[in-house]
Structure 1
Amino acid sequence: MSQNTNTSTLFPAPQSGAELEEGTCLSPRFNTDGLITCVAVDAHNGEVLMLAHMNAEALALTMKTGEAHYFSRSRNKLWKKGESSGHTQKVLEMRIDCDQDAVIIKVEMGGTGAACHTGRRSCFYRTVPLGAAPSKETRLGFTGDEPRFDPAAVYGEGHGHNH
């Protein structure tokens, strides 16, 4: 599912070695699908809110506008966070990792403060048990992060995963 946006027109070719890791040139390393992983965290308390992906256009729009934009793999399209729900993400800081293939954005949530399409604050609202090998009986636990809005009312019936 290679993305249409030509990364070479928006960003320089990926650097290598010391320039990639220690240099000041932004040269994102998009994967073979033309995407880079993005983790959104609460700018004030560091809570991990969601993991999504950006293509070159989404990364460029996020940098230019200060509002989070992503590429939906399931819908195969660019989207601005909050465009249909009102749960926007104002980006206060963006960081890129050592080999420039992942970014973290520190955001302020708009709307109800829910980042997840299920209505919860964080997409990470379940825990995975540790201390035993996985099996068919393995069950997830809930963190207590209850929905802040009704997804069916905001997105319509049959809404799906939008990252």
Structure 2
Amino acid sequence: MPASFTACRETDAQAAEHALSGNATLCGIPRDQVTVYRHLFSARKAEACPQCRTKAADAPTEPGVQELLHGRLEHAAPSGLRDELLAALRQGADVRLWINGPTEQMVRHYAELHRIVEGGELITPVVRGGGRLGLARVVHGAQEFVVFLPEGGVPLIARAAPA
């Protein structure tokens, strides 16, 4: 996916919208001379700075959420579920949720353990283990996968019944 940059405008000259990257805009204006906005820079806007527009288009791409999750799942134990999910991610499956936090809170609020129909026996030690947990919910067609990403541990995959 294309690289993304925070939108900003020069504090004293609001005409053009610039792309902020680190301590300066892509066209060289120092961060302390701009007002930062809560949206991303869009090169398509008429008011986009021409230099920022060009440099944003030339910036290296960033991996999408599917690619990031795919990379994490390569370390999961080989299984049919893992292979199914990896294939779904390569086809652009919808990663509906990917959140990290204390295991107890992730399980209580987001895991929906009552919906797990396959792979549940493997996740019991993880959900009772404490620490921090990443939790991803992936939908592909009629299939829904729940991915448990324990901090410092091996990812585990379960299948959930349709909502």
Length-normalised TM-score, structure 1: 0.25
Greater percentage in strand: 2
- Whose relative contact order is higher, 1 or 2, with alpha carbons under 8 Å and at least 6 apart? 1
User: Could you state the TM-score of these two structures normalised by the residue count of structure 2?
Assistant: 0.25
Structure with larger Rg: 2
